[in-house]
Structure 1
Amino acid sequence: MPAPRASASTNTQGGSSSTAPVSRTTSRNKLSSSPHFRLQRQRTETDALLAEQHDEEHFADSDGLYPPHCTWTSHDQAVSGGKPPESADPFGNGKCSVYENIHRIRRDITTSIDDPYSLEQLKAPRMNISVVRPLVDALYETQDLSIGPSYWPGYLLTRANKSKVYCLLVNRMQFIREQSFATHHQTVNLTRALLCELVAEKILRRYNEHNPGPRGLLKLANILVAGFEPFQGAPDEVIDQSKHAMHYWATQYRSQSGKVERKLTALEVAIVSASKSFLASSACQKVVDAIYRGKIVYTPSSFMDIIPDHWKKRPISLYDPRRAPLLNQYRLVVPRTRNLIEVLQFMVLLGLYIAVMVGRENRMTPKFEVVELVFDVYGAGWVLDQFASILEHGWGVYTQNLWSFLDVMFSTLFLVYLGLRLHAFSISNDDKSIAIARTALDVLSCGAPVLIPRLAFNVMSENMLFLSLRAMMSDFLTLTALAVWCFAGFLLSLKWLHAGAHEAGTIGKWMIWIWFGLDGTGIGQSTDFHWLLGPVLMVLFAFLGNTLFLTVLVSMLTNTFSGIVGNAVQEIQFRRAVLTFEGVKSDAIFAYMPPFNILALVILLPLKWILSDRIFHKVNVTAVRIINLPTLLLVAWYERRTLWMSDRHKGGRHKKIDWKNANGPKATPTQYWAISRFSVHGDIHAVFDIDPPQSVLDKIAEEDDLNHSDDMGILSNTRIKDQFAHLSEERRASQASDANRRLSVNPRAKKKRRRDSKVENTAKQDSQNDQKLKNEFRDSDDAGDENGAPSGYRKPKKGERMDSLVDLNSDGDRDVRILEALTRLHKIEGAMERMEALLGQLVDGDATSENSEGKEELAQELRSNSLK
């Protein structure tokens, strides 16, 4: 029986063990089906999702833009009432009271400046403290704007009015405009314009100092390149009074089409108003450089688009190339990339031009050959690109470029040549057709003086000679035009002086030779006009045209060149800002290189009126990516290695940029094959390319803390010891002389006698000084009062406070008040001597080991109120 019982128990145990997994599975299923477990799991998943979403808010989205998820479409804008959604305007630029701020700033500037000042005087300490700094503080601290929705990070929820810089520059532009016709306020208006620029520069610099890192860069970009309307926030009656045909078209057509309304940026206003000091500031150049390199991207506003594609819009954002698409068509309009593409396009144009003109003698027929046909098509595309640039930002911004006048001149010559060439090709008369074709090539040959220097302007755009050549050429042409206008009177006078003596062309030739000092034939032939008046007119023209004109011309060009050289940094930074602002394009035609832009104009422009905005956007993006595939791959490869670099996961596949870092993302480490390293001084630059590890930074900080505390203590003690060294030496000498007599002499009595003797000597000295003053002021009443004071002197009671050396409320005469001041000065000097002695004891090296005598003496002095 025991054996079967044992086996039974064994079977029972085995059965229970075999059924244990089933029971645990059943219990797990019951637990998973319980409402509490489902709620807990849902909370866990929700927390994980929120954590992931919160983490993603600090990194760029799939388009490579930060802040993430800010792009919007025309459909979103139509749903929100024709305005961008709130998520697309995290800084609340659309809520700024621009109209009110413009007039408030104008009132403040007009009230502050009534007299003319130069820029150096405005920067002087007196004007800076009394005028400039109060304006900067008042405008910077203005908080009249609620920014962003609630789900944005905390740094976007700050309140600051970013239209102040824009309003200041608008007022500067208006003051410059007013000074041209307000003759009695010309200099004052120029001073007000300078003040607007100076205050705007200081406000922007304060924003830069208070907002470091990439997020601060984003805020600065919103200040400079965010679009504002001058009538933004204006009352309805003001808008009704200011309606214009252009304003009506901008508000009606553009809002209905979904396009970004025509707005002006602070950077554009600064360029148009020639605010070179503002553009040359470090804060402004920080943003300009970021835009030029493509770190900051945005959708600019344009005056007119040839091929508008505004389905998808991008706010002002930071760009992360590692999280962006590989084929990003928006990188073709980055200023740095755009500048390189334009240089390559011009080199191709120059090569085709030289190839056409070299074989000119072999093509004296109205028929087109392959080289000339390719040149004509490519040249037409290049001219179309220049025309689109003028429409993009306007003639004022386009002409600020260094080589803009060269482009305009060649475009004009090319259009004349192309018109003549097509006309020669269309007519059937061979002789006439060949003559017109020859004329067309003659016109085209005049473009060589324009194209050859233009390449040098691209390569050496920051050279001082080219910077000054543009301004000097402008002055030269202006003065020449005025001279020709004025000297035309001499030509008419000589023509009318003796009608029929010589032809007008011959007279003009003689005058030109005299003007440039080449020949004096006109003076010799002047008697043919009149025996007296003819020579007088010719000699007078020679003096005015040759001597005076050349002297004025040389002086003007010298002043222009010296002025540009004196402000070389501002001129260079101004040209950089112009090149950067002009390089950001919104028209879709700029994504097509010549001659593909002609095909885009012919094909895509009709499709714009047939397809919807969304379908047209897809067709345009596909076409751009196919045509520019090699360029987009090269740009993506380069930017992912040079633009930004994460400070973590350097070798990982998916790199993220920590935008929260106040110092900004780290630079890309130098590659092994970097060309800049192959130099004698390569290591000097390389030592700053790699950030020191945290162990080195901790060691430096630890040593700085130790040395700083010790050095500061030693420095302060050394200064005080040097100041009171004589007091410490006297104290040591007195202690050494009294050491041998301490046993026989009571220290307290000794110190008391010494103190009494000092008081007696002081009293004797005071009485002697008072006697000298009495002898000096003999006319005063010498009747003594207490302590030798003159009569009429009221001795202050104990505890009465004396707030001044002289009692101005006293009715006594002047001498009495002077004696009162002297008496109080003596007391102050005595108190200062005792304080110096006490400080000398405190800084003495043996102060910590003072004997009981010193302690008792100090306590006795405190009890007797001797330090009062």
Structure 2
Amino acid sequence: MERTETNRSLHDALRVARSREAQERFLAGDDDEEQQADGADEAADEHVPLASNNFNNHADLPVYTTIHRIRRLVRASIDDPYTPEQLKEPRMNVLIVKPLVDRFFDPDDISVVYCLLVNRVQFLREQSYQAHHQTVNSSRAALCEILAIKILRRFDEENSGREGLLLLANILIAGFEPFQNAPEEVVRDSKHMMQWSIQKRSSSERTCCALEIGIISESKAFLAGTACQKVVDAVYRGRIVYTPTSFIDILPDHYKRKPICLYDPRKAPLLNQYRLIVPRIRSIIEVCQFFVLLVLYFLAMTHRNHLVLTGYEVAFIVYAAGWVLDEFASMLEHGWHVHTQNLWSFLDVAFVAIYLAYVIVRVHGFVTDDVRHGRTALDLLSIAAPVLLPRLAFNLMPENMLFVSLRAMMGDFTSLTALAVWCFAGFLLAMKWLTYPKVPAGEPAPEMPDAVTISKWMLWIWFGLDGTGIQRSPEFDLVLGPALMVAFAFLGNTLFLTILVSILSNTFAKIVADATAEIQFRRAVLTFEGVKSDAIFAYRPPFNILAMVVLLPLKFVLSPRWFHKINVVCVRTLNAPLLLIISLYERSHLWRTTKRKLHASGPGARRSWLSSWNWSQFSVHGDVQAVFEVDPPQAIIDEIEEVDIVDEEDNILSNGFMQPPRTFTGDRSLSPRADGRSLNPRRRRMSSATRVFPSRPSIW
């Protein structure tokens, strides 16, 4: 056994070393790939590292110290309330933002962005509990977001190519914990709080990444940044793979954990079960699953029979149970807060509630042999139609502004309606108490409206549909009844609805004003939530129910290695055709899409008839588009560079300040260059304009 373990360890070490060497060769030659011949390009496209990671060891980073260092400096820098627009002004950028960026930026510390977003969460929390501090903490939170944007942008600018992409991925996706490298007395004193992140500090499951912190803090400007969206797009397409941390796993299988790495489909197995949790592939699978659920729902309702279970209804119950299990696992994967940021999460929760109520009533009807319960169960199931049909539209058009705005306004509408029902319940209670008999003893009491009828009258008055409640209010009391109804009409129909419309209009205006950031924020949420670590997601409904029933007990009997082997065999067997299609597609499209764009205009480049056809010739202004489709020759580029060269004396200093304009004597057109050569005529005109109108530092 010792010899076997030694051989296995040596084999794993050699495999990791070979992968690391391949990664280094690929990253080192990435910049030169585009300058090779066409045949070399075809071969170079295939060499993308599979399972190596140059930035995997982050345990030595002083996260705890950095968090409190950022907090001290930000609090010392901002003492007055500022809006995000004011913090982006040139004066604030020079005095506060840029010095803090220079102080916090460290090429060897990739946890700075995470620490800034953690401080943003804390400042927002303090603002919600300390409203008397005006908006100072909101300004500090906005400053943390701006600093995170600028530092991430600097990482992106100083690290290009796929090596830079891998670095950005580690900054945003690598897991950190707030108490990392904290003093032992701090950890010991904080254990009584029973925080989830402190209970097992040595486990990789107790970490959180910067992308997740940005989602829960709703840092939309940060998530909409170019550098962040570059990583989000790479993760969404599966070019960057990793094993995420999860809150709770229904079917955990963590025998092998993938570090953050670039994915090479040609070095991966032909049936790679990990591709089933790639966000883009998983989103397509989820749409297909929901479409199957919708078809089974229509068949079950079309052939419904409250006396017996039809075959369509049985199929719907079983498949919907697997779909609900998948939805429940998604809620547990990253927590309720992240799950509710999804665009259609409120529709999923509504369907789960309707389905559970339907199943309970249906089962109760069969147990008690009561026909009425079967009819009631089908009636409950019928109200799922207003939930399922819009949900399909949300899936097919997730970036439509109507749906994005509707999702945001639904939260405001629900909270305001609940608050109004709470406040106006007093009117209902008062009018109900006014309906007690007021006739002498022995005389028949008139029939008084019950609470349901009064509630119906109030609802009609609320929406301005009918005034029956006001007409019959004297039945409660000649004076107090009409007074209560009229007061409710003023407060509910006039005041509350006006406030509700104003708030919803304000919410819609804010979303439309920053539509790009809102859409990219939802895209980041969908991507982050799409990467799953729970093995239950590799099984399609209703096979996930079977997997939970069969494999979950084996988890407590088998060793992690054997459980992993059995799980892989089951997943590959059930998804073999799908995995084969994914593998064949990605081997020719995953990394070569960008290369085709780069080399489409090169000599000898192979292009399909569809891509090689000049579609711009059908447009009246096709020449405007065609002029950009072919790269200019090198002679034109050299001429442009010669014309646009500007002397170093005319440039802005690195600290953001302008140099004083130089004074010239004699003919300006004969001003000598630093290297002794005279300027050409076009160069002279540009130089004169530059000296007359010196450049100013930009906001960023």
**TM-score computed with the length of structure 1 as normaliser:** 0.66
- Identify if the C-alpha distance between structure 1 residues 272 and 676 changes in structure 2 by more than 3 Å, giving closer, same or farther: farther
Q: Which residue number corresponds to residue 98 of structure 2?
A: 133
Shift of 1:442: 0.9
1:416 aligns to 2:348 (yes or no): no
Shift of 1:321: 1.4
In 2, the alpha carbon distance for the partners of 1:302 and 1:841 equals 68
In 2, the alpha carbon distance for the partners of 1:394 and 1:676 equals 49
CA contact (8 A) 1:276 1:574 kept: yes
1:341 aligns to 2:341 (yes or no): no
Shift of 1:687: 8.5
Tell me the alpha carbon deviations over residues 186-232 of structure 1, each in whole angstroms, 9 at most, x when there is no partner.
40000000000000000001111111111000000000000001100
SS at match of 1:323: coil
In 1, the alpha carbon distance for the partners of 2:100 and 2:529 equals 32
SS at match of 1:264: coil
Q: Which residue number corresponds to residue 464 of structure 2?
A: 517
Q: Which residue number corresponds to residue 306 of structure 2?
A: 364
Letter in 2 for 1:95: D
Determine which of 140, 159, 170 is the counterpart of 1:211. 159
CA contact (8 A) 1:511 1:522 kept: yes
Q: Which residue number corresponds to residue 331 of structure 1?
A: 275
SS at match of 2:191: coil
CA RMSD of aligned residues (A): 3.1
Letter in 1 for 2:350: M
SS at match of 2:79: coil
Determine which of 75, 79, 102 is the counterpart of 1:110. 75
Shift of 1:245: 7.5
User: What fraction of aligned residue pairs are identical, expressed as a percent?
Assistant: 58
1:468 aligns to 2:405 (yes or no): yes
CA contact (8 A) 1:57 1:68 kept: no
CA contact (8 A) 2:276 2:282 kept: yes
1:444 aligns to 2:444 (yes or no): no
Shift of 1:482: 1.2
Determine which of 191, 206, 209 is the counterpart of 1:243. 191
In 2, the alpha carbon distance for the partners of 1:562 and 1:55 equals 51
Letter in 1 for 2:25: H
Shift of 1:671: 3.0
Q: Which residue number corresponds to residue 544 of structure 2?
A: 597
- Identify if the C-alpha distance between structure 1 residues 58 and 533 changes in structure 2 by more than 3 Å, giving closer, same or farther: same
CA contact (8 A) 2:175 2:204 kept: no
Tell me the alpha carbon deviations over residues 479-527 of structure 1, each in whole angstroms, 9 at most, x when there is no partner.
1111111111111111223414432222222211211212212112111
Q: Which residue number corresponds to residue 375 of structure 1?
A: 316
Determine which of 335, 341, 358 is the counterpart of 1:394. 335
SS at match of 1:215: helix
Letter in 2 for 1:167: C
1:197 aligns to 2:26 (yes or no): no
Letter in 2 for 1:94: A
SS at match of 1:326: coil
Shift of 1:837: 5.6
Shift of 1:597: 0.4
Shift of 1:368: 2.5
1:547 aligns to 2:494 (yes or no): yes
Q: Which residue number corresponds to residue 61 of structure 2?
A: 96
SS at match of 2:609: coil
In 1, the alpha carbon distance for the partners of 2:247 and 2:329 equals 10
CA contact (8 A) 2:326 2:537 kept: yes
Tell me the alpha carbon deviations over residues 435-461 of structure 1, each in whole angstroms, 9 at most, x when there is no partner.
221111111111001001100111111
Q: Which residue number corresponds to residue 286 of structure 1?
A: 230
- Identify if the C-alpha distance between structure 1 residues 278 and 498 changes in structure 2 by more than 3 Å, giving closer, same or farther: same
CA contact (8 A) 2:179 2:198 kept: no
Letter in 1 for 2:215: I
Letter in 1 for 2:280: R
CA contact (8 A) 1:277 1:570 kept: yes
- Identify if the C-alpha distance between structure 1 residues 377 and 215 changes in structure 2 by more than 3 Å, giving closer, same or farther: same
Q: Which residue number corresponds to residue 219 of structure 2?
A: 275
**TM-score computed with the length of structure 2 as normaliser:** 0.81
- The 5-angstrom pairing of residues 165-176 of structure 1 reads 165-176=113-124
CA contact (8 A) 2:365 2:374 kept: yes
In 2, the alpha carbon distance for the partners of 1:243 and 1:382 equals 38
Shift of 1:334: 0.3
SS at match of 1:836: coil
SS at match of 1:561: helix
In 1, the alpha carbon distance for the partners of 2:593 and 2:449 equals 81
In 1, the alpha carbon distance for the partners of 2:594 and 2:473 equals 83
Query: After the TM superposition, which of the residue ranges 621-630 and 164-173 deviates more from structure 2?
Result: 621-630
- Identify if the C-alpha distance between structure 1 residues 54 and 689 changes in structure 2 by more than 3 Å, giving closer, same or farther: farther
Q: Which residue number corresponds to residue 499 of structure 1?
A: 436
1:526 aligns to 2:473 (yes or no): yes
Determine which of 174, 178, 190 is the counterpart of 1:226. 174
Tell me the alpha carbon deviations over residues 664-709 of structure 1, each in whole angstroms, 9 at most, x when there is no partner.
xxxx97533459976746998899788x6xxx75444554466668
Letter in 1 for 2:317: D
Give the gaps of 5 or more residues in structure 1: 1-49, 71-87, 143-158, 651-660, 662-667, 717-831, 849-868
- Identify if the C-alpha distance between structure 1 residues 115 and 215 changes in structure 2 by more than 3 Å, giving closer, same or farther: same
In 2, the alpha carbon distance for the partners of 1:107 and 1:172 equals 13
1:305 aligns to 2:249 (yes or no): yes
Q: Which residue number corresponds to residue 25 of structure 2?
A: 58
In 2, the alpha carbon distance for the partners of 1:550 and 1:422 equals 42
CA contact (8 A) 1:66 1:317 kept: no
Q: Which residue number corresponds to residue 737 of structure 1?
A: none
Give the gaps of 5 or more residues in structure 2: 1-16, 28-45, 438-447, 599-604, 651-662, 678-700
CA contact (8 A) 2:100 2:147 kept: yes
CA contact (8 A) 1:65 1:319 kept: no
Tell me the alpha carbon deviations over residues 331-373 of structure 1, each in whole angstroms, 9 at most, x when there is no partner.
110000000000000000000000000112xx222x3322111
In 2, the alpha carbon distance for the partners of 1:708 and 1:520 equals 76
CA contact (8 A) 2:19 2:49 kept: no
Determine which of 120, 124, 127 is the counterpart of 1:179. 127
Tell me the alpha carbon deviations over residues 624-660 of structure 1, each in whole angstroms, 9 at most, x when there is no partner.
1111111111111221222112999x9xxxxxxxxxx
In 1, the alpha carbon distance for the partners of 2:275 and 2:578 equals 10
Question: Alignment length, in residue pairs?
Answer: 605
CA contact (8 A) 2:249 2:333 kept: yes
In 2, the alpha carbon distance for the partners of 1:467 and 1:636 equals 33
CA contact (8 A) 1:290 1:296 kept: yes
SS at match of 1:556: helix
SS at match of 1:160: coil
In 1, the alpha carbon distance for the partners of 2:242 and 2:521 equals 21
In 1, the alpha carbon distance for the partners of 2:492 and 2:196 equals 51
Shift of 1:322: 2.2
In 2, the alpha carbon distance for the partners of 1:336 and 1:474 equals 27
Letter in 2 for 1:499: Y
Q: Which residue number corresponds to residue 37 of structure 1?
A: none
Letter in 1 for 2:99: P
Tell me the alpha carbon deviations over residues 312-335 of structure 1, each in whole angstroms, 9 at most, x when there is no partner.
111100112122221111111000
In 2, the alpha carbon distance for the partners of 1:247 and 1:493 equals 46
Letter in 1 for 2:131: T
SS at match of 2:218: coil
Letter in 2 for 1:289: D
CA contact (8 A) 2:306 2:378 kept: no
1:318 aligns to 2:284 (yes or no): no
In 2, the alpha carbon distance for the partners of 1:509 and 1:841 equals 89
- Identify if the C-alpha distance between structure 1 residues 673 and 395 changes in structure 2 by more than 3 Å, giving closer, same or farther: same
Rg bigger for which structure?
1
In 2, the alpha carbon distance for the partners of 1:676 and 1:247 equals 60
